[in-house]
């Protein structure tokens, strides 16, 4: 893959990705190394601190035991001596544990040697202490004190000195490790700085290469544009790049070739323009004669259109009057239809009310029937009561009589209401038929009004259309009169066109094109003008008095033109 053929965006992205990858590698290296150093530091410092603490504890316990040993040897109280000896044994056990912990740690050669000295001095001190204890147990207090003062104390001092040397050795190991860590961190910083320096140098080199890959094609494009601006279109452009600048050079090459072909076409077109301008002058003479004859024909047509306009205007006025009468009749019919509709609604309401009354009477009849049954039951109960229910029987008899009369009255009213409902239904049907008939009348009147309205609108449109045609004919008459003046202007324009063609030929002469375009000129796309032939034009016919059949206003009659008119429109 050629780097120069890559797109500019791809180059930039690759550069950015490379820089980011280098930075990530640098950060990863620094992070991994720092983490490794930190882990090593944590482990080593923890071990050194532990050993230093154990050594210090060892020294403290030794001093305490030494004091107890001296006190035990000097005391004459057996209980005190026993307690001191017990403490001495416990402390010795602790010291043994501390010694074992230090010996099991990872010690250097110097530390191992010092531990050997400490162990030897401790062993010597214990032997002297045991010797003094034996003298005391045997009752030789004087010998015991002598051993303590002359042998034990120097042995303890030697023992403590070796312990202090061990503590100082551990402190020195701590200091040496701190110095080692400082050196390692400094080395990490130096390595990172060297990598950053190399990365900066790589970025600068890559930027220089990228700038060069951008600057050179831009300079070539600028040089080519300068040649084109000076009119030199003969340059040969060889594009080998595949990026955006290669596309730019291809576009400039295509533009250079297109301009060269266009200049060649312009040079060829100037000759055609010169020939066309001379033929236009000849056509202007023919056009002048046709214009005069066309003006005479338009005047005759205008007089005939005036008569047609007056007749159509009168028909439109009559149609407007008929439309007004039809609208009035439609309004009256609509009012009558509205009244009939109201009557129909009223009859329907009466019919509904009658049906409701009939329902109410049915309810009353039912109540009378139930009351009669209740009165009958009351009479039966009164008969059962005997003498005591006689008064209640009289009341029940009256209630029964009243219920029977109510039932008879309800039946008579129900019969009357039924007859009334039948008559109302019959009247409602008649009124409904009358309303339907009135609606048909209203619709018929509306259709008549619509038809008359359409006739009126058509008459108005015809009148307007004929007026437009008349106006158009007048405009055409004016245009034909103006064409005579335009003919002279066309002749002057043809002469000016010839002069401009000469100037155009001189202007394009400054461009340089290659020999290939001269040998293969562009195809002349300019059509050669055809000489206009003057056809025989008939004399204008006199206007007829009779009116033609009416024409729909939506379709305008097409103006027929002869072959001469078509040639004039093409011009």
pTM (two decimals): 0.32
Phi/psi for 514 (5° steps) reads: -80, 170
User: Which of helix, strand or coil describes residue 516?
Assistant: helix
Residue whose entry in the numeric block shows the structure tokens 């239904």: 425
Cα–Cα distance for residue pair 15/11, rounded to 1 Å:
6
Cα–Cα distance for residue pair 260/262, rounded to 1 Å:
5
Cβ proximity of 190 and 35 under 8 Å: no
Residue whose entry in the numeric block shows the structure tokens 């000469």: 502
Specify the DSSP element, H or E, that contains 50.
Answer: helix 8-74
Tokens read off for 327 = 């609208």
What's 402's DSSP letter?
H
Per-residue pLDDT of the chain (571 residues; tens, 9 = 90+): 565 666 666 767 777 787 888 778 878 777 776 677 676 666 766 666 777 777 778 878 888 878 877 777 776 777 777 887 788 888 888 888 887 877 776 676 777 787 788 878 888 888 888 787 788 777 777 787 787 778 887 888 888 888 888 778 878 877 887 887 888 878 888 887 888 888 889 888 878 877 877 777 777 778 777 777 777 767 667 666 666 767 777 787 777 777 777 777 777 777 777 677 777 767 766 776 777 777 777 777 777 777 777 777 777 777 777 778 767 767 876 777 677 677 667 877 777 877 777 778 788 878 878 887 877 787 787 778 777 777 777 787 888 788 778 888 877 887 887 787 777 778 777 777 777 787 777 777 777 778 777 777 887 777 778 778 778 877 877 777 777 677 677 767 777 877 787 777 777 666 666 665 555 554 444 444 444 443 444 444 444 444 444 444 444 444 444 444 433 344 3
Tokens read off for 520 = 């293969």
Specify the DSSP element, H or E, that contains 195.
Answer: helix 153-229
Q: What local confidence, expressed as pLDDT, does residue 257 receive? A: 73
Tokens read off for 352 = 């509904």
Query: What residue ranges define each of the domains in the chain, with the CATH number in brackets?
Result: 3-194 (1.20.120.1730), 246-529+564-570 (1.10.287)
Cα–Cα distance for residue pair 561/298, rounded to 1 Å:
13
Strand segments (E) across 348-489: none
Residue whose entry in the numeric block shows the structure tokens 């010169």: 274
């Amino acid at each position: 893959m050629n780097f120069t053929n890559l797109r500019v965006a791809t180059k930039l992205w690759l550069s950015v990705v490379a820089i980011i990858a280098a930075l990530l590698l640098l950060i990863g290296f620094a992070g991994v190394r720092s983490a490794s150093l930190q882990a090593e530091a944590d482990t080593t410092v923890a071990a050194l601190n532990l050993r230093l603490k154990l050594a210090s504890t060892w020294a403290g316990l030794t001093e305490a035991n030494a004091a107890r040993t001296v006190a035990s040897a000097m005391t004459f109280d057996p209980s005190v001596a026993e307690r001191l000896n017990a403490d001495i044994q416990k402390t010795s056990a602790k010291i043994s544990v501390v010694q074992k912990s230090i010996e099991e740690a990872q010690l250097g050669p110097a530390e191992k040697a010092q531990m050997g000295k400490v162990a030897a001095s401790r062993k010597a001190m214990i032997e002297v202490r045991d010797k003094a204890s034996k003298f005391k147990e045997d009752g030789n207090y004087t010998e015991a004190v002598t051993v303590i003062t002359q042998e034990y104390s120097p042995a303890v001092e030697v023992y403590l000195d070796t312990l202090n040397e061990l503590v100082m050795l551990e402190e020195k190991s701590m200091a040496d490790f701190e110095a080692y860590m400082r050196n390692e961190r400094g080395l990490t910083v130096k390595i990172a700085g060297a990598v950053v320096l190399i990365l900066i140098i790589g970025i600068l080199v890559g930027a220089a290469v990228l700038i060069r890959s951008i600057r050179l094609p831009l300079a070539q494009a600028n040089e080519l544009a300068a040649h084109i601006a000076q009119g030199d279109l003969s340059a040969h452009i060889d594009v080998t790049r595949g990026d955006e600048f290669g596309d730019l050079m291809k576009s400039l090459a295509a533009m250079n070739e297109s301009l060269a072909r266009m200049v060649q076409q312009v040079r060829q077109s100037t000759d055609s323009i010169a020939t066309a301008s001379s033929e236009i002058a000849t056509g202007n003479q023919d056009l002048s004669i046709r214009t005069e004859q066309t003006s005479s024909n338009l005047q005759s047509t205008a007089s005939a259109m005036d008569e047609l306009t007056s007749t159509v205007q009168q028909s439109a006025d009559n149609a407007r009057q008929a439309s007004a009468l039809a609208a009035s009749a439609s309004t009256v019919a609509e009012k009558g239809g509205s009244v009939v509709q109201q009557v129909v609604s009223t009859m329907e309401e009466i019919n509904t009310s009658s049906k409701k009354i009939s329902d109410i009477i049915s309810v009353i009849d039912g109540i009378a029937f139930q009351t009669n049954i209740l009165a009958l039951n009351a009479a039966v109960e009164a008969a059962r009561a005997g003498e005591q229910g006689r008064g209640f029987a009289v009341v029940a008899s009256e209630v029964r009589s009243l219920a029977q009369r109510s039932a008879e009255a309800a039946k008579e009213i129900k019969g009357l209401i039924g007859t009334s409902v039948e008559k109302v239904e019959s009247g409602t049907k008649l009124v409904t038929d009358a309303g339907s008939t009135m609606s048909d009348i209203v619709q018929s009147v509306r259709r008549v009004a619509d038809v008359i309205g359409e006739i009126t609108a058509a008459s108005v449109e015809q009148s307007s259309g004929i007026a437009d045609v008349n106006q158009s004919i007048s405009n055409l008459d004016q245009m034909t009169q103006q064409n005579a003046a335009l003919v002279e202007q066309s002749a002057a324009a043809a002469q000016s066109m010839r002069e401009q063609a000469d100037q155009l030929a001189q202007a394009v002469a400054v461009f340089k094109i290659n020999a290939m375009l001269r040998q293969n000129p562009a195809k002349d796309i300019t059509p050669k003008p055809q000489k206009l032939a003057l056809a025989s034009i008939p004399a204008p016919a006199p206007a007829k008095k009779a009116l033609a059949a009416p024409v729909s206003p939506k379709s305008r009659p097409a103006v027929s033109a002869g072959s001469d008119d078509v040639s004039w429109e093409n011009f």
